[in-house]
Amino acid sequence: MTGPEQAPTRAALLALKDERTVVTEAYNFLDEKRLLLAAELLHQLDRYQQLLAKTESLSDTAKRALAAAITRHGLQGLGVYPAASLEGFRLVTSKKNFMGVTLLATDQHIPPRDTAIPVPASNPSSEAEACRTAFQEILQQGATLAELSGNIHRLLLEYRLTERRARALENIILPEIDQALGDMSVHLEEMELEDVIRAHVRSNTGP
């Protein structure tokens, strides 16, 4: 930015006005960017809160299913009940750039149910099956929660950085330029007025 030691000339004044135009454009861009970041942040947060509420509901269901399965099989019997296999379960993550922020989207590939249970239960029950299904659903929701949590964290960091930059331009840089423009304009007007006065005096006093 043009410093206060800059000589007050018409060229310096025009350069300072051009600088103000550039800084104003930068501020407008940052202002628009923080609005877009805030909107996306709220969108991701809304998805996270909805999914979290669903996960908490699944957790309550899982607790009841666990209690019913323990009542049916006992703690030791449930402990040896065949667990679902994670073989074939994959998380495929895609990325996109949003205003300089990397946002992730996770797609889950879940194997068919008949291949997820490698060993049949010797004493099967609907209670144990419901318990296994409930906890499996919680596990699947956790992957999406982690994705959204990371997106929210990165968006919030970028929003705070953009907010600081925009405020610095708005509250510090632009006022300094405006002050310099005002001082330089006044100084140039005074110099021009002095030139006019000197010319008038010379014309009246003669050679």
pLDDT tens-place string over residues 145-190? 999 999 999 999 999 999 999 999 999 999 999 998 988 888 887 7
Please report the pLDDT score of residue 137 as a whole number.
Answer: 87
Measured between alpha carbons, how far is 78 from 122 in angstroms, rounded to an integer? 11
Q: Would the pLDDT of 199 be above 50?
A: yes
Higher-confidence residue: 13 or 192?
A: 13
Give the DSSP H or E segment for 8.
none
Please report the pLDDT score of residue 1 as a whole number.
Answer: 47
Higher-confidence residue: 195 or 57?
A: 57
pTM metric for this prediction = 0.76
CA 166 to chain centre: 16
Confidence of residue 72 (pLDDT cuts 50, 70, 90): very high
Structural domains of the chain ordered from first start: 28-184 (1.10.287.3240)
CA distances from residue 12 to 20, 42, 179, 184, 191 in whole angstroms, order as listed: 12, 45, 14, 9, 15
Q: Would the pLDDT of 80 be above 80?
A: yes
The values of phi and psi at residue 192, to 5°, are -65, -40
- Interacting residues of 99 by C-beta distance below 8 A, sequence separation 6+: 33, 36, 37, 40, 158
Query: pLDDT, tens digit, for every residue of 92-112?
Result: 889 999 999 999 998 887 766
SS3 101: strand
Give the DSSP H or E segment for 109.
strand 101-109
Confidence of residue 31 (pLDDT cuts 50, 70, 90): very high
Measured between alpha carbons, how far is 99 from 79 in angstroms, rounded to an integer? 49
Query: pLDDT, tens digit, for every residue of 3-30?
Result: 445 677 888 889 999 999 999 999 999 9
